[in-house]
Structures are given as structure tokens and as C-alpha cells.
Homo-oligomer: A and B are copies of this chain.
Amino acid sequence: MTPSETVLSALAAQAIELPSWAFGNSGTRFKVFGQPGTARTPYEKVADAATVHRYTGLAPRVSLHVPWDRVDDYAALSAHAADEGVAIGAVNSNLFQDDDYRLGSLTHPDPLVRRKAIAHHAECVEVMRATGSTDLKLWLPDGTNYAGQDDIRARQDRLAESLSEIYALLDPHMRLLLEYKFFEPYFYATDVPDWGTSLLHCLALGDRAHVVLDTGHHAPNTNIEFIVVQLLRAGRLGAFDFNSRNYADDDLIVGAADPFQLFRIMNEIVGNGALTGAGVNFMLDQCHNIEPKIQGQIRSVLNVQEATARALLVDRAALRRAQTAGDVLGAHQVLVDAYATDVRPLLAEFREARGLAADPFAAYRASGHDQHLAATRVGGEQASWGA
């Protein structure tokens, strides 16, 4: 393949998984602003995800969330997805919405609460079997608000035990993906606050436990691409939750806050051969509190695609030469040259060759689909982040 063919072939293989909850209402603790046309059921959420894929060709899967996406017949949901042209991806468990989880779920001092939280994953595994999903994704919101509130060490021990029970529920082809988060919804000590903690638990569990890196879940100033490399080196980068942030876990559109960071992340993915075939599930996890949701998801996957295209354009031979020569600015400039490239023409051509609009974002906005949904999705209750 010519270099350009390599780029196009890599782009053609790229897949980004969408979260069903991006299509329901979401907001801050202060306010959830409803939007007309917002999906009301798991079926409508899947349909919206499929719309994103139809316009972009980038989003062939949609993650479910239990209980938010509970339906009577998961096979029917799965078939609906297939009809729409997408597949069910990871199944996400929920450990933060039950009243029993006020002081923790898998780490709770009370074994009955832990048992309940573990049992919830049995349901998730059933959903996985019914939908063909292979990734059980687990974000542990557990933590404490005050020093002394609970024993940090004991909580780790309980967590290890709970996780091993959940791991045992998996079928042999299934993976457990464990997400870490610096803080929130608790504000003193988070039980899985960093990649080190998540990785230690994954190593203890076994080969099919992998770490989820959510780009919004780090301390200020953290170098995220370094963590990407560490997890790839350890063979345990299971998935990304893409989004972007300026302050905390802001859940903004990926690439909107710091596009150079997204480029650097994708550069490590490409440079370490992990764009495809390395077991990394590239997922979005975002809110669209004030912007239209389908537009927001389209913009997001396009941002990841643009960053990827730039990363694919890095002249790796020149980069290595400059690095080996200790040419600090020369090596940096090789990266920057790729980043400065306007990849929109290349991508427009690539898309049109695949029967897509040259600018899917503009095309969707011009399509009237948002207006159509607002006019037709009348009555019922809009799906929400919390329901």
C-alpha cells in the first residue's frame, strides 16, 4: 500500500462506540434542560445512535446501560439495532442509583449491599448473552466524603473480593472493563481513583480484565497519553471513554477543549499499533446538556476521526530519526506538522468514496432530522441520564 492507502485503510477500519445515554436527557446537579425530540425508549436511543452511524460511517455499535436500557426482550432490541445498521456493544452496570448504595456498592461495609451489587452484574451478563455483547463495563462510583468515614484498606479488600465474584460470572469470551475516576460523586477518597488502582485489580482478576481510560477522569495537568502508553505496555488498555474537560469531569464533546491532546492520544494509539486489533474499544461517554444530542455525537466521532487522520499522517520514520538524533525541536515539529495539516479535504474525499456526505455534521444539520424527531416524538417521557 502507498502511504496514503495505509491512511485510508486505517480510517476505513476505525470504529467508535456510542453510549445510549448520550441520547437521553442529561444535565448538572443544578438543572437538566429538556430538548424536544429526545429519545424516550432504548429503541429510540438505538435509532439515534444508528443515525449517527448512517451519517458518519464511524459508529457501528451502541453501548447499553442497565437498568436505563432495560427492555422486556433484548433479542428484539438487538434485532432492532441490526435493522438500523448497528450492533450492541458494551453493557454498563449501574452502581450509583440505588438508595442502598449511599455508602458504597462493591465496597460497602454491609455484605448484603455488596451481594446486591454483585448480583446486579448477573443481570448485566444475561443482557450480554442476549445481545451478543462481550464487554462488561464497570465504573465504580464508590468513595467517601470525610476522612475516617470508612476504612480505605478494608474497602479495597472488599472491592477485590466483589470483583472476583463478578469476574467469575463472565463467559470465557467476555471481558471485564474497569473504569477509574479521580473524584465524584464522592469527594474525599475514591475507591478506584487512578489507573494504578484499576490495573492492580485487573492484574489480580485475570487476563480478561482490562482498564477503561475515561479522558475526563484525571487530576489537573495529568499527561493522559502517558497513561495510554503505560496501559498498552501492560497489555491492559481495554477501552476509552472519550469526552473532554476544562475543569472536572465536564463530559464535553471530545476534542472540543483540547484538540491537540486528542491528537497526542491518537498518536500514541497509532504509533503503538493499537488502532485496531489490540482489544481497545473506543467509546464515547459524554453529556450534551445544552447542545442537540445527535449533532453532539456526530461532532464527537468526527473529532476523533480528524485526530486519527492527523495521527496517521505523522511521518514516523522522520520522527524516529529526529528522536534518535536528540533533535528536540525537529522531532516535536514532525508531530506538529501532522497536526497542522487540514485533514478535512482528505476526509471529505474518503467519505464521498464511501457514499457518505463530505461534511456529515453540516449534512445532518441540513437534513431536518432534528425537527422531524421533535415533531414526531411527542408524549411519553424523555429518557434521562438517571432513568
Contact = CB atoms under 8 A, between A and B. Distances in A.
Contacts of A332: 146-149, 256
Count of this chain's copies in the oligomeric assembly = 4
A233 interface: yes
A349 to B, nearest CB: 16
A299 B336 CA distance: 11
A344 B339 CA distance: 12
A68 to B, nearest CB: 12
A225 B151 CA distance: 11
A182 B253 CA distance: 20
B233 A329 contact: no
A2 interface: no
Interface stretch (A6-14, A84-92, A166-174, A186-194): A186-194
A342 interface: yes
A148 B197 CA distance: 28
Interface string A236-264: 00000000011110101100111111001
A372 interface: no
Contact of A290 (B230, B328, B333): B328
A376 interface: no
Contacts of A256: 146-147, 332
B230 A196 contact: yes
A252 B145 contact: yes
Interface string A266-285: 01100110000000000000
A149 B328 contact: yes
A195 B230 CA distance: 12
A341 B342 CA distance: 6
Nearest to A151: B323
A248 B181 CA distance: 14
Interface in A117-169: 141, 145-153, 156-157
A157 B147 CA distance: 38
The 4 closest A-B pairs by CB, nearest first: A196-B196, A219-B219, A148-B335, A187-B250
Given A146-B331, A183-B247, 5 more contacts: A28-B29, A150-B323, A291-B329, A299-B329, A329-B361
